[in-house]
Chain A
């Protein structure tokens, strides 16, 4: 196994172009586990840790540009106001030591349905900035996950950053695991209210071959909130609407039975999380003034 250590982003892109099978490594949360278990034996490891810009973020007007290697700890500490859903999700990642090293780029690169960042990114709305020696492009998060542990990256591309929409309303994230910390998701759910556009977005983790949005549930809720004038009145959401939203969210799942849980449980849990998060976010939307600038 060769270890490539580019000093700059340009060198990294050149190395990836020359060795398209090279596996990029930053925090190593996923890559090192696979190597230690001998599940994977890459010909080249492409170490991105010398490239400082990958660990930087920029808060813009509409979006946060989050470097691929910004550790989860930094997201929790510095981006709670702009990216509340992702900040909550970051706090559920593994242990403090791993949160100090791992970043969203790794979650996206691995594209495991169990990655904790995915539901929050899907709910917030994001674009992945992929780059190669051929140039740069932005991949909408909805089009990024293409299969079980597969993503839309070309063989010569690296993830440079993620452009995530700044919260314009309350966001939530939950995951179910059978331990109260440091646990891989049995399933996860993220919800973001977008009062500016009067829409909601969702994200589901570990309950389908890829991270997915519960689109039918979103459409139902968007319509129900619009029809009932809920955004203007801020009144409590009718329990029947919440129930239907939860049922439709469960319907968006396509889970399996595995050592971590049953398919039936996953559907059930996603429904419970969807209903609770709708309650939490809506309560916050009502309580903190409807013109709020998202905070969690």
Chain B
């Protein structure tokens, strides 16, 4: 097979436009901005019913009885389902541990747990009928944190666990625990000139995607069901749906519908099984759409965390050791908690070379809302804490915080705490250098000559709380490390089907994958890859569905790497078949067919020297070349359960931020003025999309720094702010300018040398903002988000 890359010059023929490296525009962009994009919540089917979920009003209770009679008798209601109506022996589902009941069975374990389902001919009818279902709850004591969950006699969230983690955890209310020990932290601590330790608290963040959970289930004549849904991973859904419906997977045909954001929150199932159950029971199509309130209960959140860290350093600024303990609250069901624990533990040292570590990370079962995947996945919480530690260490040594980080920065070849060497570029010190070298934004930008202060540039913004009084500027830095792809031995593969054929005289490539386009721009990139590899202008991307093999999840910054890799791999194989065909048909006309490396460019077969040998249309004729192939990245291995040693990760992604903030120190309000980023992306397949990812990740990190938090009542374990009125996400007035510096240092193990990019900017944004606020106020601020009370001591 010829080892072709992107040709840099062509003396003949024409270079194919819209290939990798170009900022081609996304096909969904204009539709989304103009409001014409069809989201999953926009679907409609003749004769469809509307499904509604009745959810628990209490966090932990025995269900004594459920009376559905009145609801069922409501005119317009077609079905009311409870646990007793589940059709198959399998009643639970889950990403890693099947601990989540499809509908509550005798017990609810968190506020908002699904208890019953209603299908009716109108959404209001369904909602009002659900309100008539009488559930008799006998409340049970709740466990809400490590102390209450592991206290003697603590109620067990899950009795009689038999999952693959239950054998090694110290308490049944601990989902998974991962220690990592390398070197001798105790001995190294004795050599330290300064030791800094601290307790840190990370609040519960919500993905807050704008398109709520929704889908349409259509019963089929073969007894199966067609499910149209907004999700992150069709095949993972399918694997969980089929057993509880009691159907073989081939009878459940899934198609991705318009996804309005995901950020990890669609990795777990929401309405998928419920919609199918109602459709199969009623024999009618059933649509389910959560409203914003329900959405806060309809998906997992980012794990809140309590972290303890200790670092030591010698007088010359070298880190001697690190000890930490990270306690993540997994809530009532496991979701992806075990993998989040693995990430938190293995990335807890940050992008630093530290030889002596003693690490423990664990996730709890509690009666709080379930937590699972969200952008950054365990690395975010750790980064917040270790970056605070870096600033405190630098201060203790009277060193510049950036220089201190650079002195200890990891580089290619550094060993991770897991003993795994970092075997591709790790330009941590360089990223820090770049953000620091930028000129600072001008001071006092709210001053307008001859006019009143422009409040939009001040903390409080349009709320007009200051005209400059009490406002102090602060600057802070942070850098982070995120793994790319699924780790710890997971078979992380993707599948692509690529077809090349001539339509109306033009060669056209058709790319079919099950990749969930959740807004990340994968569809755009797949077309670019096909253009580059197959040299055709026209590429059709088929809708993502389960008629093609799994693409894996749109998460872990992995899709461009893995499904992009699969598309590239399938294109290369198709190209090889095309060239074989060309050699067979035209090989005798030109010696280069046999001797030169051949490429497909501009709809032609060309030599690597640029000489045109044939038109692709002539080579293909009436025949299509089609292949469906799987592709996997390098295998990884599990972490040792005792020592945490193991080559668990595929690739790392690095970003650094400098935050500049203005703080109204009297009112405790914050305006982030600028968040400068430097990130190594390996290779920018679509530079515009790269910028979008970096801007978005940065802003999501800002959100958890200064405003976003799901508040749980510590006594009742109920969610206190399930609405966008009280769960605040940044508006454009809260979003600073985000100057971006992109490095492209190739990772030779990855397709095109690319690096997964979506998550890294979410990591360092938060601690950079916190560092800047600390710089402005002099306060310790060991929790995020920072609220005005924390800044004013009220």
Contact = CB atoms under 8 A, between A and B. Distances in A.
**Do A and B interact with each other, yes or no?**
yes
A252 to B, nearest CB: 17
A23 interface: no
B725 interface: yes
Contacts of B734: 179-181
Given A262-B794, A265-B788, A179 B707 contact: yes
Interface in A153-207: 172-184, 186
A186 B788 contact: yes
Contacts of B706: 178
Nearest to B720: A259
A183 B463 contact: yes
Contacts of B666: 272
A227 interface: no
A173 B464 contact: yes
B461 A261 contact: no
A259 B789 CA distance: 12
Contact of A37 (B293, B460, B668, B794): B293
A262 B466 CA distance: 21
Given A36-B291, A174-B464, A176-B460, A182 B731 contact: yes
A247 to B, nearest CB: 14
B707 A178 contact: yes
B565 to A, nearest CB: 40
B463 A180 contact: yes
Contacts of B732: 181
Size bracket of the B interface: 35 or more
Nearest to B460: A180
A88 B666 CA distance: 21
A176 B721 contact: no
B461 A269 contact: no
A49 B750 CA distance: 60
A265 B666 CA distance: 11
A80 interface: no
A273 B731 contact: no
B462 A92 contact: yes
A150 interface: no
Interface in B714-733: 720-721, 723, 725-726, 728, 730-733
Given A259-B721, A262-B794, A276-B466, A180 B459 contact: yes
A268 interface: yes
A146 to B, nearest CB: 24
A174 B463 contact: yes
Interface in A22-54: 33, 36-38
B506 interface: no
A265 B725 contact: no
A173 B465 CA distance: 8
B176 interface: no
B712 to A, nearest CB: 11
Interface in B695-750: 706-707, 711, 720-721, 723, 725-726, 728, 730-734
B454 to A, nearest CB: 12
B469 interface: yes
B361 interface: no
Interface in A77-94: 88, 91-92
B792 A268 contact: yes
B465 A273 contact: yes
A175 B465 contact: yes
A92 B464 contact: yes
B787 interface: yes
Contact of A265 (B291, B462, B733, B794): B794
A280 interface: yes
User: Interface residues of B: mostly helix, strand, loop or mixed?
Assistant: loop
B461 A180 contact: yes
B259 interface: no
Nearest to A89: B464
Contact of A181 (B462, B470, B667): B462
A224 B666 CA distance: 25
A183 B463 CA distance: 9
Contacts of A181: 461-463, 731-734
A260 interface: yes
- Of the candidates A179, A184, A272, the one having the most CB atoms from chain B within 10 angstroms of its own CB is A179
Contacts of B667: 176, 269, 272-273
Contact of B731 (A33, A179, A272, A276): A179
B464 A259 contact: no
B721 A178 contact: no
A265 B668 contact: yes
Instruction: Identify the interface centre among B456, B463, B706: most chain A CB within 10 Å of its CB.
Output: B463
Nearest to A173: B464
A137 interface: no
Contacts of A243: none
Contacts of B463: 92, 174-177, 180-181, 183
B671 interface: yes
Contacts of B461: 179-181
B669 interface: yes
Contact of A261 (B459, B720, B725, B788): B788
Contacts of A235: none
B467 interface: yes
B755 interface: no
B447 to A, nearest CB: 15
Given A259-B720, A272-B667, A180 B462 contact: yes
A88 B788 contact: no
Nearest to B465: A174
Contacts of B669: 176, 178, 180
Interface string B523-552: 000000000000000000000000000000
A273 to B, nearest CB: 7
Contacts of A267: 794
A267 B793 CA distance: 12
A276 B794 contact: no
B772 to A, nearest CB: 16
Contacts of B683: none
Contacts of B127: 38
A220 B669 CA distance: 29
A57 to B, nearest CB: 23
A274 to B, nearest CB: 12
Interface in B85-102: none
Interface string B546-579: 0000000000000000000000000000000000
A273 B464 CA distance: 9
Interface string B229-255: 000000000000000000000000000
A179 B730 contact: yes
Contacts of B707: 178-179
A183 B464 CA distance: 12
Contacts of B459: 180
Interface in A128-157: none
B462 A184 contact: no
Interface in B759-794: 787-789, 792, 794
15 contacts: A88-B464, A175-B463, A176-B669, A177-B463, A180-B456, A180-B462, A181-B734, A183-B728, A184-B726, A261-B789, A264-B789, A269-B667, A269-B788, A272-B667, A273-B465
Interface of A: 33, 36-38, 88, 91-92, 172-184, 186, 259-262, 264-265, 267-269, 272-273, 276, 279-280
Closest 7 CB pairs of A and B: A180-B461, A181-B733, A265-B794, A264-B794, A180-B733, A268-B794, A174-B465
Given A259-B721, A265-B788, A272-B667, 20 more contacts: A37-B723, A38-B127, A92-B462, A173-B464, A175-B464, A176-B460, A176-B463, A176-B788, A178-B707, A179-B728, A180-B456, A180-B460, A182-B733, A183-B463, A260-B726, A262-B789, A269-B667, A272-B666, A279-B469, A280-B467
